[in-house]
Amino acid sequence: MEFSEVVRRRRMVRRYDPDQPVPRDVVERCLANAVRAPSAGFSQGWDFLVLTTEAERDLFWRTTTDPGAPSDSWLSGIRQAPALIVCLSDKEAYLDRYAAPDKGWTDRDEARWPVPYWDIDTGMAALLILLTAVDEGLGGLFFGVPPTHHGAVKEAFGIPAARRVVGVVSLGHPLPGPRSPSLRRPRRSAADVAHWGRFGVAGSDH
């Protein structure tokens, strides 16, 4: 599939066919592309927890939802996804990398960073997973874990305390469903969001 077509077809899929598993080799191709994402200083401060068995996925959902809470249509739909990839960032990898001789920030001061690039880079890796899924004929969704449940997820799956749960990518064969109400909002065009030379200057005026 042409890259531009992959980009156009990418959607956040919230309903999956539970009877069609995601082949392991497809998951591995998603991960192989994920590690091609850019990272500051080539720090590569990311890890990916792959959950494909029913027991693994059930444990994830038990640790990320409140016991006895009613399940809504959104949660019911994504719980059918046959593969989950928990995207983790490692801040320490970046602080260590930039304290190396060729970088020279020996104090490892987090305040030097204008934004948390460890999270940003992990997010870019997650996007490559989503785009690869489209190229493989699958659907995907990036969603967050409530912060109150991060500790439970780490404990349940042996994730080091220093890692941050940036988000989760669900993968599977999409099922038709109602369109998200958010899609009633018009998509902002490149012309709407691009500022040429100075904020507020349109390309036609530059």
pLDDT digits (tens, 9 = 90+) for 51-71: 999 999 999 999 999 887 777
The stretch 103-132 carries a mean pLDDT of: 92
pLDDT at 115: 96
The stretch 79-102 carries a mean pLDDT of: 95
The stretch 156-181 carries a mean pLDDT of: 92
Q: Report residue 74 as tokens.
A: 């959104």
Phi and psi, residue 72, nearest 5°: -95, 180
Q: Report how far residue 93's alpha carbon sits from residue 42's, in angstroms, rounded to the nearest whole number.
A: 10
- Rounded to two decimals, the pTM is 0.92
- Which CATH entry fits the domain spanning 3-177: 3.40.50.920, 3.30.470.10, 3.40.109.10, 3.40.50.1580? 3.40.109.10
> Where is pLDDT greater, at 8 or 171?
171
Note the pLDDT tens digit of each residue in 26-40. 999 999 999 999 999
Q: Report how far residue 26's alpha carbon sits from residue 39's, in angstroms, rounded to the nearest whole number.
A: 23
| Residue 41 Rama label (left phi>0; alpha psi -120 to 50; beta) | left
- Residue located via tokens 């949660």: 75
Amino acid sitting at position 48: F
Distances (CA, A) of 24 to 19, 52, 91, 195: 15, 9, 29, 43
- Residue located via tokens 């401060």: 45
pLDDT at 76: 86
Would you say 133 and 34 are in contact if contact means Cβ atoms under 8 Å apart?
no
Domain boundaries, the chain: 3-177
pLDDT at 1: 85
